[in-house]
Amino acid sequence: MIITLKNNFHNTEVRVNVPNDGELSIGQAKRVRKMLCGSDSCTCGVVRGPQDFPVDWVEINSCWEGSRRYDIFTVVFKED
């Protein structure tokens, strides 16, 4: 399903095709981070502020492979 994720701190948004289980691929997560924030040192949280239905919130887990970080983004959907 195609959803829009938003960041009301930078006033940015990005459309992404999220799989049914809500977990974005590493490539999608990279793109979302870059489009919504783009700054590694920023503490805005990447996905921030009110989101469009059916997105409730997005859980972001940062993982490290040596000194390289990658993110696991899991979109949590609202129950209607």
What is the rounded radius of gyration, in angstroms, for the C-alpha atoms of the chain?
Answer: 12
- Among 3, 16, 32, 37, interactor with Zn ion by CB under 5 A: 37
Burial zone of 5 (CB within 10 Å; 0-12 exposed, 13-18 middle, 19+ buried): buried
35 binds Zn ion (CB under 5 A): no
42 binds Zn ion (CB under 5 A): yes
Residue with tokens 């502020």: 49
Give the interface size with Zn ion as a residue count (CB under 5 A). 3
Piece in contact with Zn ion (CB under 5 A), picked from 18-26, 41-49, 58-66, 70-78: 41-49
